[in-house]
Amino acid sequence: MGESGNRRILITGALGQIGMELLDALQTKFGAENVIASDIRESEDVDNSGFRYEKLDVLDSERMESIIRDNNINEVYHLAALLSATGEKNPQLCWTINMDGLMNVLELARKYKFRIFAPSSIAVFGADVGKIAKQDSPLNPATMYGITKVAGELMADYYHSAHGVDIRGLRYPGLISWKVMPGGGTTDYAVEIFYKAVASENYSCFVNRQTRLPMMYMDDAIKATLQLMDAPSESLSVRGGYNLPSLNFTAEELYHKIREKIPGFECEFVPDHRQEYADSWPDETDGTLAKQEWGFNLEYDLDSMCDVMIQSLSK
């Protein structure tokens, strides 16, 4: 058994970039027998020997309810969503999955009194914010994905204040990781570039060389998630989404850093429609409140993140 005997956890969207890493971390911390992974996809393409898996579409509220009720779930990590680039291809579907899925989790939390982690994103910000996004900067997103994240933050505040639901969220920056490919976001270039570099292939980057966005290595994001969920409820002044401190580098700076470690790697910059979404987001985020209220600090910088990405992908 893990360190907290009474946690009974369900993860939605568990086969995604964050889900597969959070699943490992939660199993280690609380015991595999206390964690159920779910996703709309079949789990055949992953090694699921260590955890229980349920196929679950988050729009199917009845099935979600039976999994939660029958397994005495008292904590849901709600990761199922469409991200920015996929969301802009089908904005209506993005709204439906991101909002109706969240609403289903919130309504069940009202009934069964479980805690929720529901991530937000730097996509809540729009071009009016400028270079550094503060916790209370205006939220005027330019993408449907960002709109769903702002609405999700408001729903979190509402269900917390009106119904006492213990929901917590983080405004994750672009997450860089090597276990699972990212699932259709604008920040995906910062992961794809490593795959190409390690495979000794050239990379065609879909944002321009000056594009600077808030980023973070996955281990820091998982650490932030666990730390936030461990924080005493009364210490939290934010429910929808805490800003996090983030790395920030341009696409060209990332390329040069990788080239220091893999000489000869070539990258060209050929911006596509995703440039517009990237341009609407800030360069960096101010995570002071997350430090003050629950003690979060980054461990990885650009250099150590590049080292671990290259070493891990080279295996």
Q: Which parts of this chain interact with ligand NAD (CB under 6 A)?
A: 12-13, 15-19, 39-41, 56-59, 79-81, 83, 97, 101, 119, 121, 172, 174-175, 182-185, 187
CB of 211 to ligand AKB, least distance (A): 12
39 binds, among ligand AKB, ligand NAD, none (CB under 5 to 8 A by kind): ligand NAD
Report the 10 Å Cβ neighbour count for 7: 19
C-alpha 275/C-alpha 260 separation (Å) is: 26
Closer CB to ligand AKB, 33 or 272, in the complex = 272
Question: Are residues 245 and 210 in contact, defined by beta-carbon separation less than 8 angstroms?
Answer: no
Q: Which residues of 251-280 are buried (b: 16+ CB within 10 A; e: fewer)?
A: bbebbebbeeebeebebebebeebbebbbb
Tell me the C-alpha distance between 150 and 144, whole Å.
10
* 76: Cα separation from own chain's centroid: 15
Residue 15 interaction partner, one of ligand AKB, ligand NAD, none, beta carbon < 5-8 Å per kind = ligand NAD
User: Active site residue: 53, 77, 112, 145, which one?
Assistant: 145
- Read off the amino acid at residue 190: A
Asked if 150 and 141 count as a contact pair (C-beta separation under 8 A), the reply is: yes
186 binds, among ligand AKB, ligand NAD, none (CB under 5 to 8 A by kind): ligand AKB
d(CA 288, CA 297): 10
* Closest distance to ligand AKB from the beta carbon of 176 (Å): 10
Under the rule (CB under 6 A), what is the footprint of ligand AKB?
83-84, 121-123, 145, 174, 185-187
- Residue at shortest CB range from ligand NAD: 16
Q: How far is the CB of 193 from ligand NAD (least distance, A)?
A: 14
Which residue, 6 or 90, has its beta carbon nearer to ligand NAD?
90
CB of 187 to ligand AKB, least distance (A): 4
With CB under 5 to 8 Å by kind, the binding choice for 183 among ligand NAD, ligand AKB, none is: ligand NAD
Active site residue 145: yes
Active site residues: 145
